[in-house]
């Protein structure tokens, strides 16, 4: 029986010694056990700035029609935190090949899951209104049959009229745009600078 019991943390630097701060303050509160607090703060500020200056009104998305959102490569949950004032909920996906940051996401009061994007995601078809992928495709370049396999899965879980925002290297975005067009998606925005770019697309009612 003793082997099933967790040891009570003795040091403030260990996770679990303090009761979490009340929501929504815990989104911005840095836990004492976190080793590199500067990275979390920088990630939060980064996504707050991008959402306010670009996503909120600069890419044509009507956020009043968005409810279910997925961050396909969440790190610290900064993208989800930036959406905290919107009437949405965000599923934060930590890829299995990435550093394990899911405990930090949970500590912030957000929801999340591990997933291998070389496999199907466990959800019903047409479940999400918006998918966000920040440098996901470049990280998976040598792991699976991407980008086709990942785009097929995105097409499955996104509702007609739903949106995809992809930030990645230009060499990744160019073929990705062609794949999305082959599925009759509408390309709403493309922008590139210094070999990095953004692609914003909307799924249509077309069916193969």
Is 17's pLDDT higher than 70? no
From the list 30, 34, 32, 57, the residue with the least C-alpha distance to 44 is 30
Is 23's pLDDT higher than 90? no
Whole-number average pLDDT of the chain: 90
Extents of the domains making up the chain: 35-202
| Residue 16: pLDDT band with limits 50, 70, 90 | low
> Can you give the length of the chain in residues?
208
| Structure confidence at residue 185 (pLDDT) | 98
From residue 91, alpha-carbon distances to 65, 69, 81, 95, 137 in Å are: 17, 6, 11, 12, 18
Whether the Cβ atoms of residue 95 and residue 115 lie closer than 8 Å to each other: yes
**Neighbouring-strand partners of residue 17:** none
CATH 3.40.50.150 assigned to domain 35-202? The reply is: yes
pLDDT digits (tens, 9 = 90+) for 152-163: 999 999 999 999
H helical segments located in the chain? 37-50, 78-82, 102-107, 136-139, 148-157, 170-182
Cβ density class 182-192: b for 16+ within 10 Å, e for less: ebebeeeeeee
pLDDT digits (tens, 9 = 90+) for 76-118: 999 999 999 999 999 999 999 999 999 999 999 999 999 999 9
């Amino acid at each position: 029986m003793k082997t099933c019991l967790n040891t009570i943390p003795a040091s403030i630097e260990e996770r679990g010694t303090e009761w979490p701060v009340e929501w929504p303050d815990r989104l911005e509160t840095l836990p004492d056990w976190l080793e590199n607090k500067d990275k979390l703060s920088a990630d939060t500020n980064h996504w707050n700035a991008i959402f306010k200056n670009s996503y909120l009104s600069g890419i044509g998305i009507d956020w009043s029609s968005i409810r279910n959102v997925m961050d396909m490569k969440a790190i610290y949950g900064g993208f989800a935190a930036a959406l905290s004032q919107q009437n949405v909920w965000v599923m934060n996906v930590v890829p299995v090949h990435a550093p394990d940051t899911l405990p930090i996401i949970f500590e912030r009061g957000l929801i999340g899951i591990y997933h291998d994007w070389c496999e199907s995601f466990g959800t019903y078809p047409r479940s999400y209104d918006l998918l966000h992928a920040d440098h996901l495709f470049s990280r998976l370049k040598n792991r699976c049959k991407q980008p086709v396999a990942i785009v097929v899965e995105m097409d499955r879980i996104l509702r007609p009229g739903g949106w995809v925002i992809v930030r990645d290297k230009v060499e990744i975005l160019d073929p990705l745009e062609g794949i999305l067009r082959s599925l009759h998606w509408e390309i709403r925005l493309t922008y590139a600078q210094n070999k990095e770019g953004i692609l914003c697309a909307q799924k249509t009612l077309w069916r193969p």
